[in-house]
Structure 1
Amino acid sequence: MKFSTIFLTSIFAFASSSPLLEKRNSYQGQRYGGNEETILIQINDNNEFYKQRNEQQVLGNQQIDLTVLNFALTLEFLEATFYAQGLNQFSEERFLQEGFAGVRDQVELISFHESTHVQFLQDTIRATFGQNQDVPTCRFNFDDALKDVTTMIATAGVLEKVGVAAYDGAISLIQEDLFKTAGAAIATIEGRHAAALNIINRQLPVPNSFDTPLGLRSVITLAAPFISGCDFELPAQPFQSALTVKQSFCQLGQSIDLAFQGWRNQLSQQLHCNFQVGISHFRTPITLDVNNGNANCQVPEQLRGNFEATVFVVCLDQDVGLTDDDHVVAGPTFLPLAL
């Protein structure tokens, strides 16, 4: 994945040009004798190799931050467009008819927040990296998500969960501290949106002790059904298949039925369900029925105390990392756990 390569290259450059390494090299110059002054000059500021390495580090860090900020901007465009279309389509009377008294005002406030995030990210990117460095909005299709107010509110709850997971995962990639602070400030607002919509959707406002950070591919996979096209290349591609769990709510220890594409190509490998809550991962093996095409796995008992999990199908018995995700076969999807 191109973004991961840039990220790892930047980390290598950072480690190679760190003050600790330079200090260690200067100590080696003193230890092994020779012309101490000459050696120190050669391995520090006047050494063209180190100078170029530092310049590469700065450029690499800037490219990472620009990529992450534009990634966040794309998600904010998606949310802002979704709310704007929904509010334009459904009146206060329609909200009342479907049993959502007083909810439209809350949705209007959330819509305002998302539009503010769009403007903030655009201004930040332009001021830091120059004009025309911010990506334009993609083309979105919310036809299925805006069939009625009930579906709109349910979809809004999912989008806000995606937003929280996206910011939580992306913050670790950001190099500049000020951008990290800004990302954290937005992430907490997305979390409040998610809690409010959970209440409106008659779910627990805060289902777990920790939110679950997701990597770029996971987030893009969740957003992909709403994106009909972009005039630029996204920083990553979706996983090969979406994942659906047929049960609406699940008990611990219960067997759940899975639907995903391409499982017949994985018959030579043992597939697992990877259940993620916060930064913890738990896996159970998947049973495949070749005759009828069914796939199922068991909800692990270790999830006790949590009321929502993020589920992947993986072809290796290992965690799904923010950038280490090549073993993901399908997903992710959000799975509510019964009280």
Structure 2
Amino acid sequence: MKSVIVAATLGALAVSAHPAPEAEARGPSLSDSTILNFALTLEHLEDAFYKLGLSRFNQRSFDNAGLPAGAREQFVQISQHESEHVAFLTGLLGSKATKPCTYKFPINDPKSFSSLSQVFENVGVGAYTGATKSLSHQYITGSASILGTEARQAALVAAYVNGVEGWGNAFNVIRPFLFLIAIVTNHLQLQQIPLTLSQAYSLAAPFIVKCPSSNPKLPVTVFPTLTIPSSANPGDTVPVTFKSNVGRGKQLFAVFLFGLGQEVVPIRNGRVIIPKNLAGQVYALISTSSSGVTDRTTVAGPALLQFEFDLEGRYIPNS
């Protein structure tokens, strides 16, 4: 099942592989309250998403959609988890806690609901993976515990509900500290691609209509949208579309974030060749740097690509 919000990414004539950068490592450090409020922002979104979907689609709707037996009950439990995550983070932050926003979700049936759930769970895993390293020691255990639950949810939705593999390769856990989290989560190998706050928020922003003016301000940038045909597959030459004056007249690069690293691909005449070695959920950004991408070099993105395999390891082509 392909994601309902697949919107972009790339590849190209000369592809170079790089380790994932310590994104913005030399930038100003983030406070614990900022990181926790960012996590709470995403948890509020997920909490609202599951409550809406479950209120809109009853068991008969799930049965008529042909989803596996028990799928709705799994979403009921996931919804309860997200509500508990909201309560946990709100308790840590107290009066500093961000409030829920108004949201819009493009869900018309249980299948679009389960497809978007898979996306949100993986984005949540990526956000926690990227942010946990910056937390003070006293908050790491709680964050790692939530990460483990989100990862299990992502695997369940992908494999049991949507019938696709829940990982892209054998090396999805990134950076030495995160191997500890892999142990905490029973070595579950998922798409734990670390995202910066701005990257994760840019993925969430299309679903956020308006937030209370009293909410703490987050140090994030919403990057311009990156779009490519949703029918794109590894090895295809595809157009990339984005609106930005950054880097105008310069050579720009498409950067694919996946697994243990990233693929950097030059853009030629507005088109790129998607690298053939990509699998699972991949994030793509446009960068001014041939060395990779940070928030400072980002022109557009991230965009999401789904290169999925069935439970027998066969690739499911996008069409």
Which interval holds the TM-score relative to the shorter structure? 0.7 to 0.9
Task: Give the equivalent residue in structure 2 for 1:57.
Answer: none
Contact 1:220 / 1:236 at 8 angstroms: preserved in 2?
Answer: no
CA contact (8 A) 2:98 2:216 kept: no
Look up the match of 1:35: none
Q: What's 1:91 paired with?
A: 58
1:64 has 2:43 as partner: no
**CA 1:334–1:208 in structure 2 vs 1: closer, same or farther (change >3 Å)?**
farther
Counterpart for residue 153 of structure 2: 193
Matches within 5 A, 1:1-339: 8=27, 64-100=31-67, 101-126=69-94, 132-142=95-105, 144=106, 146-174=107-135, 176-199=136-159, 200-209=161-170, 210=172, 211-231=192-212, 232-248=215-231, 250-251=233-234, 253-262=235-244, 266-288=247-269, 295-301=270-276, 303=277, 306-320=279-293, 324-337=294-307, 339=315
Q: Is the 8 A contact 2:205 2:222 kept in 1?
A: no
Gaps of 5+ in 1: 11-62, 127-131, 289-294
Identify unmatched segments of 5+ residues in structure 2. 1-22, 173-191, 309-314
Q: Distance in 1 between matches of 2:77 and 2:231?
A: 29
Structure 1 moving runs of 4+ over 4 Å: 4-10
CA distance, structure 2, for counterparts of residue 147 and residue 160 of structure 1: 19
CA distance in 2, matches of 1:9, 1:313: 23
Answer whether contact 2:96 2:216 (CA < 8 A) is retained: no
Shift of residue 233 of structure 1? 4.8
- Does 1 or 2 have the higher relative contact order (CA < 8 Å, sep 6+)? 2
Return the structure number with greater helix share: 1
Contact kept, 8 Å, 1:286 with 1:297, in 2: the verdict is yes
Amino acid corresponding to residue 138 of structure 1 in structure 2: C
3-state SS, counterpart of residue 122 of structure 2? helix
- Is this contact kept in 2: 1:246–1:259, CA < 8 A? no
One-letter amino acid matched to 1:206 = W
What is the DSSP-based 3-state SS (H/G/I as helix, E as strand, rest coil) of the residue aligned with 2:96? coil
Aligned residue identity for 1:78: L
Superposition TM-score, scaled by structure 1 size? 0.72
Task: Give the deviation of 1:227 after TM superposition.
Answer: 0.6
Q: Kindly provide the amino acid, as one letter, of the partner of residue 136 in structure 1.
A: K
- Pair 203,244 (structure 1): closer, same or farther in 2 beyond 3 Å: farther
Task: Tell me the C-alpha RMSD between the 2 structures.
Answer: 2.3
- The 3-state SS of whatever aligns with 2:303 is strand
CA radius of gyration, larger in: 1
Q: How much has 1:258 moved relative to structure 2? A: 2.2
Q: Secondary structure at the match of 2:100?
A: coil
Cα distance, 1:204 vs structure 2? 1.1
CA distance in 2, matches of 1:203, 1:257: 27
Deviation of residue 300 (structure 1)?
2.7
> What do residues 115-142 of structure 1 show as CA deviations (whole Å, max 9, x unaligned)?
110111111222xxxxx11111122122
**Could you tell me whether the CA contact under 8 Å between 1:245 and 1:335 is conserved in 2?**
no
Q: Secondary structure at the match of 2:163?
A: coil
When normalised by structure 2's length, the TM-score is: 0.76
Report the identity percentage.
Answer: 32
Letter in 2 for 1:315: T
CA displacement at 1:112 relative to structure 2: 0.6
Question: Residues 138 and 336 (structure 1 numbering): CA distance in 2 closer, same or farther, change over 3 Å?
Answer: same
Amino acid at match of 1:183: S
CA 154–173 in structure 1, closer or farther in 2 if over 3 Å, else same = same
Q: Distance in 2 between matches of 1:208 and 1:225?
A: 28
Q: CA deviation at 1:279?
A: 4.1
Cα distance change, pair 134–191 in 1 and its aligned pair in 2 (3 A): same
Deviation at 1:173, TM superposition (A): 1.5
Deviations 1:132-160 (A, max 9, x none): 11111122122x2x222111111111111
> Which whole-Å CA distance do the structure 2 matches of 1:124 and 1:104 have between them?
30
